[in-house]
């Protein structure tokens, strides 16, 4: 080809090729989107001036720069132009107003977008920003897991407004994940799983094998996961467990108890129903509790063990939630007799409680398996040392899909949430030789746990953004009062400060300011139903009166809140505050809609029939001034009462004392149904 | 010979249920799906979901899960709680009126004091969300009637 | 291309105009590409996003500024001053050569450390090389009295904001 | 170089040179003898325009590549999380592949150092300057030496299990023997017969380097295990 | 317009010859231009043939020119500091107009330059163009090849992504194996024992200043030597080509 023609052609090509990139740049999609937005917004504008304002907006990249929040840059608003503009409510997708949440629309300049939604804030193209293309940055969190974003900053177990996250965190704690996996801030976690030292005297070889095969099939409340053991492994582990040396002292107790004469099943039935076991345990699935199912307990544990355990549960498992009931020797025998008669698995083989004759070589293999599967993490945490058995979970929420090992699971979407869900559902399906057991989470549980896991970021957010609700100090005295609180396991149901479980609606933190001491003593000795609709009720612990007095005195003197006035009437008699007017208020405000008073009233709040005997007026006053202050999610509405009105009502309630202090407990004791 | 006969019988035994399941499986799969479709409520918008949470927590005890005024505490109450899922009622009341009734309670709008005022307990936004959720109740009601 | 045509370019030869045309196309395309590259390069060099502190900043509430209060905002290089029955803001950049001035609380004056310019609390030059008074910056107050200063907007002297 | 080099008399073999000229040259200088009327053209425009076209062609090719293929950019560097496999840039993958077979000191330092040294001394080595075809001088001794060296090299690489070197070594040796007496063969064999020993060595080196680089780039997956490029594990 | 431009005093002070329509003016184009001055006024027609050199040296040279141009532009948006370096890549990608194009161009040109240099070396070897008097230029070429590799390698770290970090970690660990000096070289190169911000800064300085200057220096020598050694050298059949005269 002649040189000049070649030169002309190549020059023109040169020009054309060099023009491609600027042309592509000029046609970037955000530009046309911004022009569309201008048109849409100005057509929606209420005034000519604001329409002109929209029209005049330049086409440019928008960004939210959060220097103090991990130096985050979110350019989502380059396309999502209307997120903070009320005018754009209901507009088509990239332009619509962001739904209102605790942090929006007011908080965009503090939180940006990616802090909740994930994705790549720096990107200005949709596939890269949303992380939908293969090697783009971090993908967006799918909307079902959106609460994972809350969990990055909100570090408490329970996060108000994030029910899925809170549930996920609770499930993780209950499943004992922290026993094997290290997670920041959970170093102190201890599983409630029982030590296995007394197992040879507790149950039989057949039962242990059944249990190891699938704990949930034996007890639906079991927290122990299914390790999918082979029959041989089960056999070896059973031999190892039965080879354990039972501590002499406990063995003595169990054997002595086994030798005792049988008790009265009929009396046992009455005692069980009074003791409200179903507050924690379930019986054939009835009851809200999550403690072991009782309906087959007699085919799980030997009579001697049950009796010895019932008399002092903490000697067998120092971490148990089970309180110590002060049954007399006979009473405890009666209770166990009832359990033996009624709560038995009648389909179970006769020899289910026969101890296993130990084969030492199998037991030796079992010992290896016990280590191999990390059983010690839950059952013998002291023996596990400081090393956690499983890989640490911190940062799992920021893992990139490319760095995950999908192994055999070619069926999965290559994304972190899918991987986590599959890990939870069938952990062993990824490769051979994996040890993680399966927990039998249902779809909802699995979603909640995945949400909580996605909240575990690689780095903690800056201090300014970290939020944990203010720590309520937990006063836990030592000495005799402390050991009483320990042995009655008050914290299994009640909260003190931030310690303890949330089963009871009555935290003990300010109980001394709330209830009158004399009432409390009586109540501790023989508790009765305060809130008829709740299934979780205070059990009758058979507390001796001196214990009750000691506890009540301690509550009276230590567990007080300085903001609750001891005497709201300021030294004057309560009648000065006009209780008659208070009664009128009681009617006028509709309190009877929820509270029982005398023979009528709603079935929701606690009965007020004997409020004057039970509640201190200072508490009543403080409560009426704002119930939510004392319990954030309480349903009792805040009426916005004036001081005078609140005082009048308090005075009225103070007048409510039972006419004839008859024995209530018969009516209330409904126990096991 | 007997072994072979036994094996044949076994094979037959195994194939018959297999054949049956193969036939019945698609049919069985179809019917529940077809029956299910109308029942599944449409996915709720974010604000409405928040409203639902508030409703479940504060209102359900009296107004009932579907808003029909059949909560377990309703039998105590006279007058009876309002049936919120009634389309006639919904048509009559504007959003502002509903929000006002929630905020100031029954007594505030000249009705029964048994409906407490929630203005001090719930934020304005929560009340707005609640109203949004209330508006979805009539639609939820239809399949059950 | 033959040897002869190169040695003696013949204006009358039939190939000449076509060859010139081709040369012009080639040269022209190169020139356009060159100029275009220059333009694109200049556009490339123009930053499209900026990481600069916002010129608008919150200065607290009006009640924090009783008469005579002077607060220096380091990042925004501005004084927020309570005076004249309200609040106003002054740029802290000396009008002489751009040094950052200092507020001398015991002398109630603003002084520049570089060349000794002095200003009073309203920004007027007391003495020194500074040619102009310190500029006043826009201060707006909302209904609750929260002050917002925009250091990018200069307003006339004496326009005090009252909450 | 000795101070007074020996002089050789060389006859110009150019038949066009009339009258014949005699040139005196040293063995390490190449005789440059005018061969007749060489055609010359003006640098401008002939060379310059070609250069401009070359420039444009390269830029066009690069631009098209830049528009079609994006430069790779992975996640931000994370010193804790090693990608598997961790690969060096492609031009070092041959080396990295060598490291897989040999102790680091050999593969990382000795071999590359040797290669650079050999490359640098090429123009100073006599064998390169005389540059006769491998089998020019009969060749029983050459054949023996070649077989011995090949056997030694093959044994060495085979001991290390380095088949990507051992096998091309054998193949090259085979090609070299095939070239023996190729002057009377077909076109290919005639061409082979003209190849000098340094060229054989360079070819051997290029084949090995290419093979190692290709294997390192496309056939190595997690744990530097051999994978097929289409398995997606690279 | 064009005529007026050509007639102006300013134009004529820059371009001191007339239009290139006579051989005299064509010669002047070469004489008067610093950059074209490396060429002789006349070249042998044979050397213009594609098969003579395959233009491989030219391809390498053009890639290096593209690299210098795009590299300078990229430097405007690059901070050699640890989280920022990576973020700057993202900025080029998403915010800077044509930034991604320039980065891609730089990357592919770098690969082309390494590849072109290898092929160029092979071509020269097989064409026996390393023979005297070109032996010195061959060595310069080897140095250029090594410089090119180092330039490419130091540039590899600058994006500070996983690919860069681990590529360089692996590479520097190879250097560590050198006897005696290996550890020291690695320590000097990285400015520490691990690939860190120090290493990034050092690689940046090497990539943007030290190595390019060295490359330009040796490149000048390389090109100057081509001219001095009698122009580009073709395939072995040209071995006995006459040495061309410098001017006709």
* pLDDT tens figures, A499-523: 888 788 888 888 889 999 999 999 9
Chains B and E in direct contact, meaning 3 or more beta-carbon pairs closer than 8 angstroms: no
Q: How far is CA E91 from CA A19, C154, D109, in A?
A: 22, 33, 39
Domain that residue C20 falls in: 3-45
pLDDT band at A385 (very low <50, low <70, confident <90, very high): low
- Share the mean pLDDT of chain E: 88
More confident residue, D233 or A263: A263
Mutation target vs D (from A7, A8, A22, A120; most D CBs, 10 A cutoff):
A7
Question: Domain check: are B98 and B79 in the same one?
Answer: yes
Model confidence at E240, pLDDT cuts 50, 70, 90, reads very low
Q: How far is D147 from chain E (nearest CA, A)?
A: 24
pLDDT given for residue A566 in this prediction: 82
Please tell me the distance from the alpha carbon of residue E169 to that of residue E195, in angstroms, as a whole number: 7
Residues in chain D: 234
Which range is least confidently modeled, A209-218, A372-381, D216-225? A372-381
State percent of chain A over pLDDT 90. Answer: 31
Closest alpha carbon within chain A to E161: A137
Comparing A94-98, A374-378, A476-480, the range with the smallest average pLDDT is A476-480
The pLDDT value given to residue A59: 92
Q: What is the per-residue burial (b if ≥16 Cβ within 10 Å, else e) of C80-111? A: bbbbeebbbbbbbbbbbeeeebebeeeeeebb
Confidence of residue A409 (pLDDT cuts 50, 70, 90): confident
Q: Is the pLDDT of residue C14 over 60?
A: no
pLDDT confidence of E57, banded at 50, 70, 90? very high
Give domain limits for chain A: 29-140, 163-182+390-465, 199-371, 479-558, 574-668
Cα–Cα distance for residue pair D183/D186, rounded to 1 Å: 8
C13 with C41, same domain: the answer is yes
Residue E246 included in any domain: no
A328-337, B43-52, E211-220 — most confident range: E211-220
The predicted model gives A204-228 an average pLDDT of 90
pLDDT in tens, A23-65: 999 999 999 999 999 999 999 988 999 999 999 999 999 999 9
Min Cα separation A381/chain D (Å): 29
For residues E86 and E199, membership in a common domain is answered with yes
How far is residue A193's CA from residue A246's CA, in Å, rounded to a whole number? 17
Q: How high is the pLDDT of residue A664?
A: 45
- On whether the CB atoms of residues A228 and A428 are closer than 8 A, the answer is yes
Instruction: Go through A115-131 and write b for each residue having 16 or more CB atoms within 10 A of its CB, e for each that does not.
Output: bbbbbbbbbbbeebbbb
Q: In the predicted model, is pLDDT for residue D5 greater than 70?
A: no
Closest-approach residue (CA) in chain A for B77: A593
The model's pLDDT over B78-112, given as tens digits with 9 standing for 90+, comes to 788 888 888 888 888 898 999 999 998 888 888 88
pLDDT at A21: 94
From CA D177, how far away is CA D181, in angstroms rounded?
Answer: 9
Show the domain range for B21.
1-40
Question: E strands within D26-106?
Answer: 40-42
**Does residue C41 sit in the same domain as residue C65?**
no
Contact assignment for A14 to D56 by CB distance below 8 Å: yes
Cβ-Cβ contacts under 8 Å, A628 against chain B: 121
**What contacts A574, CB < 8 A, 6 or more positions away?**
A617, A650, A651, A654, A655
Residue D171 to chain E, least CA–CA distance (Å): 20
pLDDT higher than threshold 50 for residue D153:
yes
| Closest-approach residue (CA) in chain B for A162 | B50
Q: How much is the pLDDT for A603?
A: 77
The whole-number pLDDT of residue D55 equals 96
Q: Are C96 and C121 in the same domain?
A: yes
Residues E114 and E7 in one domain: no
Range scoring the smallest mean pLDDT among C67-71, D27-31, E172-176:
D27-31
Mapping DSSP to helix (H, G, I), strand (E, B) and coil, where does residue A66 land? strand
All structural domains of chain D with their residue ranges: 90-231
Whether residues C26 and A7 touch (CB distance < 8 A) is answered with yes
Q: Rounded distance, CA A50 to CA A64, Å?
A: 23
Integer Cα distance of A38 and A397 in angstroms: 37
Is E245 inside any structural domain? no
Q: Is A153 exposed, middle or buried (0-12, 13-18, 19+ CB in 10 A)?
A: buried
- What is the rounded distance in angstroms from the CA atom of residue A99 to the CA atom of residue B29? 38
Mean pLDDT computed over D19-36: 54
Residues 32-61 of C with CB under 8 A from A: 32-33, 36-37, 40, 43, 48-49, 51
**Assigned CATH topology for domain A574-668:** Cytochrome Bc1 Complex; Chain D, domain 2 (1.10.760)
pLDDT at B36: 39
Q: Which among A577, A563, A575, A578 is positioned nearest to A619, based on CA atoms?
A: A563
Retrieve residue A453's tokens: 């896991």
pLDDT digits (tens, 9 = 90+) for A595-609: 888 777 777 888 888
Residues of E in contact with C41 (CB under 8 A): 73
* Pair (C74, C136) in one structural domain: yes
Q: Is the per-residue pLDDT at A422 higher than 50?
A: yes
Tell me which residue in E126, E139, E174 faces D199 most closely, judged by beta carbons. Answer: E126
Strand partners, A467: A154
For the ranges C10-24, E107-121, E171-185, the one whose mean pLDDT is highest: E107-121
Domain assignment present for E47: no
Interface test with D, best of C7, C26, C28 (most D CBs within 10 A): C26
| Residue, of B2 and E4, whose pLDDT is higher | E4
Distance CA E74, CA E71 (A): 5
Q: What is the span of the domain harbouring residue E111?
A: 52-238
Same domain for C16 and C94: no
**What does the pLDDT read at residue A16?**
96
Residue C16: its pLDDT value, please?
Answer: 64
Of C117, C68, C69, nearest to C92 by C-alpha is C117
The reply to whether C23 and C67 lie within a common domain is no
Regarding whether B61 and B23 lie in a shared domain, the answer is: no
D136 band by pLDDT with thresholds 50, 70 and 90: confident
Co-location of E4 and E127 in the same domain: no
User: What CA–CA distance (Å, rounded) separates A256 from A305?
Assistant: 10
E23 plus E76 within the same structural domain = no
Q: Are B6 and B75 part of one and the same domain?
A: no
Q: How far is CA B14 from CA B4, B6, B21, D51, E155, in A?
A: 15, 12, 11, 81, 68
Residues A313-318: what's their mean pLDDT? 89
**E248 pLDDT tier (thresholds 50, 70, 90):** very low
Chain A residues with CB-CB distance to B121 below 8 A: 628, 637-638
Mutate to test the interface with A, among D53, D66, D77, D78 (most CBs of A within 10 A): D53
Substitution target in A10, A73, A74 with the highest count of E β-carbons within 10 Å is: A73
Categorize the per-residue pLDDT at A666 as very low, low, confident or very high, splitting at 50, 70 and 90: very low
pLDDT of residue A189: 83
Tokens of C111: 């002084």
Instruction: Tally the domains of chain B.
Output: 2
List CB contacts of A408: < 8 A, sequence separation 6 or more: A429, A430, A431
User: Which helix H or strand E contains C89, and what residues bound it?
Assistant: strand C86-91
CB-nearest partner of C1 from A2, A11, A21? A2
Q: How confident is the model at residue D19 (pLDDT cuts 50, 70, 90)?
A: low
- List the single range of A371-375, A496-500, D198-202, E36-40 with lowest mean pLDDT: A496-500
Residues of E in Cβ contact (< 8 Å) with D23: none
Q: pLDDT value at position D234? A: 53
What is the phi-psi region of residue D56: left when phi exceeds 0, alpha when psi lies from -120 to 50, beta otherwise? alpha
* Judgement on whether residues B33 and B51 belong to the same structural domain of the protein: no
The larger pLDDT score, comparing residue E6 to residue A113, is at A113
Separation CA A8–CA A15 (nearest Å): 11
E173 and E124 in one domain? yes
Rounded average pLDDT over D161-172: 92
Q: Highest mean pLDDT range out of A165-174, A625-634, D174-183?
A: A165-174
Instruction: Spell out the alpha helix ranges (H) of A426-516.
Output: 443-454, 479-487, 511-514
Do E4 and E110 lie in one domain? The reply is: no
A151: Cα within 13 Å, side-chain hemisphere: 31
Dihedrals phi, psi of C30, to nearest 5 degrees: -60, -45
Which residues, other chains included, contact D64 with Cβ-Cβ below 8 Å and sequence gap of 6+? Answer: A17
Of residues C131, C137, C141, the one with CA closest to residue C152: C137
Average pLDDT over residues A467-491: 83
* Distance separating alpha carbons of residues A94 and E211, to the nearest angstrom: 48
Q: Is A60 on the interface with C (CB under 8 A)?
A: yes
Class of domain A199-371 as given by CATH: mainly alpha
The whole-angstrom distance between E146's CA and the closest CA on chain A is: 31
Please answer yes or no on whether C48 and E23 come within 8 Å at the CB atom: no
What is the average per-residue pLDDT within C146-157? 87
Pair (E67, E139) in one structural domain: yes
Task: Specify the pLDDT at position A668.
Answer: 40
Q: Residue C110 sits in a domain of what CATH number?
A: 2.102.10.10
Residue C161 lies in a domain: no
Spacing of C-alpha A147 from chain mean position: 14
pLDDT of residue B38: 42
Number of domains in chain E: 2
Name the nearest CA neighbour of A431 among A458, A407, A467, A401. A407
A130 close to A122: Cβ distance less than 8 angstroms: no
pLDDT band for position E69 (cuts 50, 70, 90): very high
pLDDT band (50, 70, 90) for residue B124: confident
| E185 and E102 in a common domain | yes
The E residues from 104 to 133 touching C (CB cutoff 8 Å) are none
CATH number, domain at B74?
1.10.760.10
Domain tally, chain C: 2
Residue E43, domain member (yes or no)? no
Here the tokens at position A385 are 């040392």
- Asked whether the beta carbons of residue E242 and residue D79 sit closer than 8 angstroms, the reply is no
> Is C39 in the same domain as C88?
no
pLDDT band at D24 (very low <50, low <70, confident <90, very high): low
DSSP string computed for A347-397: TS-GGGGPPPPPPHHHHHHHHHHHHHTTTHHHH-GGGG-SS-SSPP-TTGG
Find the helix packing angle between D43-68 and E56-75, rounded to 10°. Answer: 60
Range D154-160 average pLDDT: 91
The CA-based angle A189-A191-A194, given to 5 degrees, is 150
Residue, of A117 and A472, whose pLDDT is higher: A117
Q: What's chain C's average pLDDT?
A: 84
In the predicted model, what is the mean pLDDT of residues C76-88?
Answer: 87
* Contact call for residues A520 and A498 (beta carbons, < 8 A): no
The predicted pLDDT at position A134 comes to: 61
CB atoms within 10 A of CB B6: 10
Q: Is the ipTM of this complex over 0.90?
A: no
Residues C83, C25, single domain; the answer is: no
CA B70 to chain centre: 13
Does any domain span residue E46? no
Are domains A199-371 and A574-668 of this chain identical in fold? yes
Q: What is the pLDDT of residue C5?
A: 40
pLDDT above 70 coverage of chain E, percent: 94
> E91–A122: do the CB atoms touch at under 8 Å?
yes
d(CA E242, CA E248): 14
CATH of A163-182+390-465, one of 2.40.50.460, 2.60.40.420, 3.20.20.60, 3.30.9.10: 2.60.40.420
Find which of A107-111, C148-152, E69-73 is predicted with most confidence, using mean pLDDT. Answer: E69-73
CA nearest A74: which of A129, A136, A137, A122?
A: A122
pLDDT score for E237: 62
């Amino acid at each position: 080809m002649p040189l000049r023609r070649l030169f002309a052609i190549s020059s023109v090509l040169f020009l054309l090729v060099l023009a491609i990139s600027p042309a592509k740049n000029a046609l970037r999609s955000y530009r046309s989107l911004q022009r569309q937005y201008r048109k849409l917004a100005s057509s929606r504008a209420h005034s000519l001036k604001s329409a002109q304002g929209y029209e005049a907006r330049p086409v440019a990249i928008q960004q939210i720069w959060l220097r103090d929040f991990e130096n985050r840059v979110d350019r989502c608003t380059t396309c999502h132009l209307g997120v903070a503009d009320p005018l754009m409510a209901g507009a088509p997708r990239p332009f619509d107003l962001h739904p209102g949440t605790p942090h929006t629309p007011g908080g965009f300049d503090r939180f940006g977008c990616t802090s909740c939604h994930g994705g790549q804030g720096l990107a200005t193209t949709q596939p890269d920003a949303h992380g939908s293309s293969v090697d783009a940055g971090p993908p967006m969190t799918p909307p079902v897991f959106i609460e994972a974003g809350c969990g990055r900053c909100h570090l408490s177990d329970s996060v108000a407004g994030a029910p899925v996250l809170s549930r996920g965190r609770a499930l993780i704690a209950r499943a004992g994940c922290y026993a094997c996996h290290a997670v920041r801030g959970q170093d102190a976690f201890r599983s409630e799983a029982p030590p296995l030292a007394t197992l040879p005297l507790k149950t039989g070889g057949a039962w242990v094998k059944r249990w190891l095969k699938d704990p949930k099939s034996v007890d639906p409340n079991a927290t122990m996961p299914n390790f999918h053991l082979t029959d041989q492994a089960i056999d070896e582990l059973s031999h190892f467990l039965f080879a354990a040396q039972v501590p002499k002292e406990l063995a003595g107790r169990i054997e002595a108890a086994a030798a005792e004469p049988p008790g009265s099943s009929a009396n046992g039935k009455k005692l069980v129903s009074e003791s409200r076991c179903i507050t924690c345990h379930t019986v054939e699935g009835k009851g809200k509790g999550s403690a072991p199912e009782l309906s087959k307990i007699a085919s799980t544990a030997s009579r001697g063990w049950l009796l010895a355990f019932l008399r002092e549960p903490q000697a067998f498992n120092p971490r148990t939630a089970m309180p110590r009931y002060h049954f007399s020797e006979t009473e405890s025998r009666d209770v166990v007799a009832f359990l033996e008669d009624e709560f038995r698995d009648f389909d179970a083989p006769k020899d289910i409680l026969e101890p296993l004759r130990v084969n030492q070589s199998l037991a030796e293999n079992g010992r290896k398996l016990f280590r191999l599967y990390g059983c010690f993490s839950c059952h013998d945490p002291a023996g596990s040392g400081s090393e956690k058995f499983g890989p640490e979970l911190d940062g799992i929420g920021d893992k990139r899909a490319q760095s995950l090992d999908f192994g055999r699971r070619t069926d999965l979407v290559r994304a972190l949430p899918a991987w986590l869900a599959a890990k939870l559902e069938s952990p062993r399906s990824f490769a051979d030789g994996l040890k993680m057991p399966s927990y039998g989470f249902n779809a909802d549980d699995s979603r909640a746990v995945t949400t909580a896991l996605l909240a575990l970021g690689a780095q903690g957010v800056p201090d300014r953004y970290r939020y944990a609700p203010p720590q309520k100090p937990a006063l836990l005295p030592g000495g005799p009062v402390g050991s009483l609180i320990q042995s009655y396991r008050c914290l299994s149901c009640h909260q003190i400060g931030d310690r303890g479980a949330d089963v009871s609606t009555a935290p003990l933190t300010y109980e001394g300011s709330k209830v009158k001491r004399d009432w409390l003593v009586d109540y501790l000795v023989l508790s009765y139903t305060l809130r008829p609709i709740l299934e979780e009720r205070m059990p009758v612990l058979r507390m001796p009166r001196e214990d009750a007095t000691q506890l009540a005195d301690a509550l009276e003197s230590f567990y007080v809140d300085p903001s609750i006035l001891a005497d709201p009437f300021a030294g004057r008699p309560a009648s000065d505050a006009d209780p008659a007017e208070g009664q009128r208020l009681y009617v006028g405000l509709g309190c009877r809609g929820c509270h029982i008073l005398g023979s009528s009233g709603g079935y929701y709040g606690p009965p007020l029939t004997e409020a004057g005997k039970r509640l201190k007026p200072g508490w009543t006053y403080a409560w009426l001034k704002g119930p939510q202050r004392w319990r954030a999610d309480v349903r009792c509405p805040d009426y916005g009462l004036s001081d005078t009105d609140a005082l009048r009502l308090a005075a009225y309630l103070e007048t409510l004392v039972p006419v004839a202090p008859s024995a209530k407990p018969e009516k209330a004791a409904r126990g096991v149904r | 010979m007997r072994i072979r006969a036994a094996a044949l019988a076994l094979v037959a035994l195994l194939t018959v249920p297999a054949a049956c399941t193969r036939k019945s499986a698609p049919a069985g799969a179809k019917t529940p799906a077809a029956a299910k479709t109308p029942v599944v409520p449409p996915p709720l918008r974010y604000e409405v979901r928040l409203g639902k949470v508030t409703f479940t927590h504060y209102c359900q005890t009296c107004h009932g899960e579907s808003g029909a005024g059949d909560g377990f505490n309703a039998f105590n109450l006279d007058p009876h709680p309002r049936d919120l899922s009634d389309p006639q009622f919904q048509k009559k009341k504007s959003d502002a009126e509903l929000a006002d009734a929630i905020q100031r309670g029954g007594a505030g709008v000249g009705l029964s004091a048994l409906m407490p005022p929630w203005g001090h307990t719930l934020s304005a936004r929560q009340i707005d969300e609640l109203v949004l959720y209330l508006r979805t109740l009539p639609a939820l009601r239809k399949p059950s009637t | 291309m033959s040897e002869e045509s190169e040695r003696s370019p013949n204006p009358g030869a039939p190939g000449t105009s076509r060859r010139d045309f081709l040369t012009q196309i080639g040269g022209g395309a190169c020139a356009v590409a060159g100029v275009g590259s220059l333009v694109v390069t200049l556009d490339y060099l123009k930053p499209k996003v900026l990481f600069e502190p916002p010129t608008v900043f919150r200065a607290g509430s009006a009640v924090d500024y009783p008469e005579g209060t002077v607060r220096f905002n380091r990042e925004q290089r501005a004084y927020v001053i309570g005076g004249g029955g309200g609040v106003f803001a002054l740029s802290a950049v000396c009008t002489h050569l751009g040094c950052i001035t200092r507020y001398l609380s015991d002398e109630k004056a603003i002084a520049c450390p570089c060349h000794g310019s002095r200003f009073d609390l309203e920004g007027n030059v007391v003495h020194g090389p500074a040619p102009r008074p310190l500029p006043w910056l826009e201060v707006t107050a909302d209904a609750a009295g929260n002050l917002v200063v925009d250091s990018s907007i200069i307003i006339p002297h004496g326009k005090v904001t009252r909450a | 170089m000795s101070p007074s080099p020996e002089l050789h008399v060389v006859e110009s073999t150019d038949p066009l040179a009339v009258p014949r000229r005699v040139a005196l040259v040293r063995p390490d200088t190449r005789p440059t003898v005018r061969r007749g009327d060489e055609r010359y053209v003006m640098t401008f425009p002939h060379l310059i325009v070609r250069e401009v076209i070359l420039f444009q062609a390269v830029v066009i090719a690069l631009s098209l590549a830049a528009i079609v293929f994006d430069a790779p950019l992975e996640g931000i560097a994370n010193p804790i999380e090693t990608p598997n496999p961790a690969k060096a840039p492609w031009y070092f993958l041959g080396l990295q592949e060598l490291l897989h077979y040999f102790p680091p000191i050999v593969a990382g330092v000795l071999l590359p150092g040797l290669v650079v040294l050999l490359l640098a001394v090429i123009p100073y080595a006599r064998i390169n300057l005389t540059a006769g075809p491998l089998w020019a001088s009969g060749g029983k001794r050459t054949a023996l030496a070649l077989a011995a060296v090949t056997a030694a090299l093959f044994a060495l690489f085979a001991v290390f299990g380095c088949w990507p070197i051992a096998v091309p070594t054998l193949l090259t040796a085979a090609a070299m023997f095939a070239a023996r007496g190729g002057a009377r063969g077909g076109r290919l064999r005639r061409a082979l017969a003209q190849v000098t020993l340094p060229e054989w060595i360079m070819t051997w080196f290029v084949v090995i380097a290419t093979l190692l680089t290709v294997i390192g780039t496309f056939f190595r997956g997690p744990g530097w295990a051999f994978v097929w490029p289409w398995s997606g594990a690279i | 317009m064009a005529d007026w431009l050509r007639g102006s005093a300013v134009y004529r002070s820059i371009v001191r010859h007339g239009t290139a329509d006579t051989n005299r003016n064509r010669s002047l184009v070469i004489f008067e231009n610093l950059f074209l001055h490396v060429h002789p006024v006349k070249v042998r027609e044979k050397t213009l043939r594609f098969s003579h050199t395959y233009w491989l040296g030219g391809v390498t040279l053009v890639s290096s020119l593209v690299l210098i141009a795009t590299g300078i532009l990229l430097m405007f948006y690059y901070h050699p500091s640890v989280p920022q370096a990576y973020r700057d890549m993202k900025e080029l990608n998403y915010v800077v107009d044509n930034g991604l194009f320039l980065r891609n161009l730089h990357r592919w040109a770098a690969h082309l330059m390494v590849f072109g240099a290898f092929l160029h070396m092979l071509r020269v070897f097989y064409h026996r163009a390393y023979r005297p008097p070109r032996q010195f230029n061959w060595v310069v070429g080897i140095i250029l090849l090594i410089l090119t590799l180092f330039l490419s390698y130091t540039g590899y770290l600058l994006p500070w992504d996983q690919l860069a970090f681990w590529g360089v970690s692996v590479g520097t660990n190879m250097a560590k194996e050198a006897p005696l000096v290996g550890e020291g070289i690695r320590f000097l190169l990285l400015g520490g024992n691990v690939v860190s911000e120090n290493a990034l800064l050092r690689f940046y300085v090497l990539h943007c200043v030290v190595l390019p200057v060295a490359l330009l220096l040796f490149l000048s020598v390389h090109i100057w030597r081509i001219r001095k050694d009698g122009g580009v050298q073709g395939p072995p059949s040209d071995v006995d080509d006459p040495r061309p005269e410098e001017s006709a």
